[in-house]
């Protein structure tokens, strides 16, 4: 067939429609929002972490209060899983997705698909590009409070290790908060920083490595409680419980128990409230349905320091 003949072939009506849609501003924006929240899809990063179990508990409570159902899915720290889970939620016709994203930027195309299907998407714990709002702990504040207490208890001097985690915004913020405080202590020196996988086993492994390289350390900050408790194990295995102090972030039940254990190197944790995050996310979605979208799309929940001295007053998760 000659090329000239191609120019005279009729263009399918469907193709014209698609072309027109592509040229219309906002054609790919969110479809009409739901009239009622009846089905909620909750997406957590890693259900083996008690933080996300508490988030699931909060989701069930929030759903029950409005007469909705909730389906919780565990990503197991895998972006591919979260993509698949969002597509499944779209097929199931959920009205609201509450997501703790494994990858803030990588999940954006899947969130766009959900919004095109008319689903409200609220991020919790860490931002997710394209979400209607995010509810999270003031993570910079949490890092500041945990590390400020650690440095005080070290007498304002000494070598410190940072047990980092996966590179999501909330963890980056906690580490940055810690470093901001460290700059105010001229005799505090951060001598090591390694990333765990946010759990106790990897916290143990990276801390063991860093202690081998830096045997004179007297303080360790774990960016979440599981990694901090892994650091505690490393300290005890190295026979340094009397000389090294450890703090974390979460205010988890395991951290509370550790604060109450006599002789533990663990001395403090800056709180998060995972259940409250999901409950606030559902409330925001209810407001959106009612025609009252949030004026501020980032909601920060304050962090509170829990120590051996006040752990008995802390209500926990």
Backbone angles phi, psi at 46, to 5 degrees: -160, 100
Query: Do residues 146 and 242 both lie within one domain?
Result: yes
> Would 2 be classed as within a structural domain?
no
CA angle at 162 for the pair 152 and 234, rounded to the nearest 5°: 95
> Would 4 be classed as within a structural domain?
no
| pLDDT tens for the chain, residues 1 to 317 | 333 333 333 434 334 333 333 343 333 456 688 889 999 999 999 999 999 999 999 999 999 999 999 999 999 999 999 999 999 999 999 999 999 999 999 999 999 999 999 999 999 999 999 999 999 999 999 999 999 999 999 999 999 999 999 999 999 999 999 999 999 999 999 999 999 999 999 999 999 999 999 999 999 999 999 999 999 999 999 999 999 999 999 999 999 999 999 999 999 999 999 999 999 999 999 999 999 999 999 999 999 999 999 999 999 99
* Total tally of structural domains belonging to the chain: 2
Query: Do residues 118 and 174 both lie within one domain?
Result: no
- Residue pair 168/101 in contact (Cβ under 8 Å)? The answer is yes
Query: Do residues 128 and 246 both lie within one domain?
Result: no
What CA–CA distances, in Å, run from 116 to 32, 83, 274, 291, 308? 9, 15, 28, 18, 49
**DSSP-assigned states of every residue in the chain:** --HHHHTTSPPPHHHHHHHHHHHSTTTTS--PPPSS--EEEEEES-TTSHHHHHHHHHHHHHHHHHT-EEEEEE-TT-HHHHHHHHHHHHHHT-SEEEE--SSTTTTHHHHHHHHHTT-EEEEESS--TT-SEEEEE-HHHHHHHHHHHHHHHTTTEEEEEEEE-SS-HHHHHHHHHHHHHHTT-TEEEEEEEEE--SSHHHHHHHHHHHHHH-TT--EEEESSHHHHHHHHHHHHHTT-TTT-EEEEEE--HHHHHHHHSTT-SEEEEEE--HHHHHHHHHHHHHHHHTT---SSSEEEEPP-EEETTTGGG----
pLDDT number for residue 274 = 96
Query: Do residues 267 and 241 both lie within one domain?
Result: yes
Neighbours of 137 (CB within 10 A): 27
HSE value, Cβ hemisphere, 13 Å, CA-based, for 260: 11
> Would 104 be classed as within a structural domain?
yes
CA angle at 178 for the pair 172 and 183, rounded to the nearest 5°: 125
pLDDT number for residue 174 = 98
> Would 18 be classed as within a structural domain?
no
Cα(139)–Cα(147) distance, rounded to whole angstroms?
A: 12
Beta-ladder partners of 117:
none
Look up the CATH number of the domain holding residue 126. Answer: 3.40.50.2300
Question: pTM (2 decimals)?
Answer: 0.83
Structure tokens at 313: 């007053």
Long-range contacts of 86-90 (CB under 8 A, 24+ apart): 86/41, 86/43, 86/110, 86/111, 86/113, 86/114, 87/113, 89/41, 89/114, 89/119, 90/114, 90/117, 90/119
Query: Do residues 228 and 290 both lie within one domain?
Result: no
Cα(137)–Cα(70) distance, rounded to whole angstroms?
A: 23
Query: Do residues 119 and 208 both lie within one domain?
Result: no
The domain in which residue 232 lies consists of 139-273
Cα(162)–Cα(166) distance, rounded to whole angstroms?
A: 13
pLDDT number for residue 61 = 97
Query: Do residues 225 and 103 both lie within one domain?
Result: no
> Would 174 be classed as within a structural domain?
yes
pLDDT number for residue 29 = 55
> Would 6 be classed as within a structural domain?
no
């Amino acid at each position: 067939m000659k090329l000239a003949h191609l120019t005279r072939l009729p263009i399918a009506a469907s193709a014209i429609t698609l072309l027109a849609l592509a040229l219309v501003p906002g054609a790919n924006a969110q479809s009409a929002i739901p009239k009622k929240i009846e089905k909620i899809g909750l997406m957590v990063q890693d259900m083996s972490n008690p933080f996300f179990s508490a988030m699931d508990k909060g989701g069930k409570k929030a759903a029950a209060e409005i007469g909705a159902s909730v389906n919780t899915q565990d990503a197991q720290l895998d972006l591919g899983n979260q993509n698949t889970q969002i597509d499944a939620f779209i097929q199931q016709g959920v009205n609201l997705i509450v997501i703790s994203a494994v990858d803030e930027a990588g999940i954006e195309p899947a969130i766009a698909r959900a919004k095109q299907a008319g689903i409200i998407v609220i991020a919790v714990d860490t931002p997710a590009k394209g979400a209607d709002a995010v509810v999270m702990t003031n993570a910079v504040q949490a890092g500041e409070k945990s590390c400020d207490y650690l440095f005080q208890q070290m007498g304002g001097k000494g070598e410190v290790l940072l047990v980092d985690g996966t590179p999501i915004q909330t963890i980056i913020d906690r580490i940055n908060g810690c470093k901001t405080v460290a700059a105010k202590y001229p005799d505090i020196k951060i001598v090591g920083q390694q990333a765990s996988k946010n759990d106790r086993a990897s916290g143990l492994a990276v801390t063991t490595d860093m202690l081998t390289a830096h045997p004179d350390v007297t303080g360790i900050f774990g960016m979440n409680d599981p990694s901090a408790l892994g650091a505690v194990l490393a300290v005890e295995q190295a026979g340094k419980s009397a000389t090294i102090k450890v703090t974390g972030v979460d205010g988890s039940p395991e951290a509370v128990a550790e604060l109450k254990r006599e002789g533990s190197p663990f001395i403090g944790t800056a709180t998060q409230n995972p259940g409250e995050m999901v409950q606030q996310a559902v409330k925001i979605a209810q407001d959106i349905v009612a025609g009252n979208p949030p004026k501020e799309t980032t909601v920060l929940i304050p962090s509170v320091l829990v120590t051996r001295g006040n752990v008995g007053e802390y209500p926990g998760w």
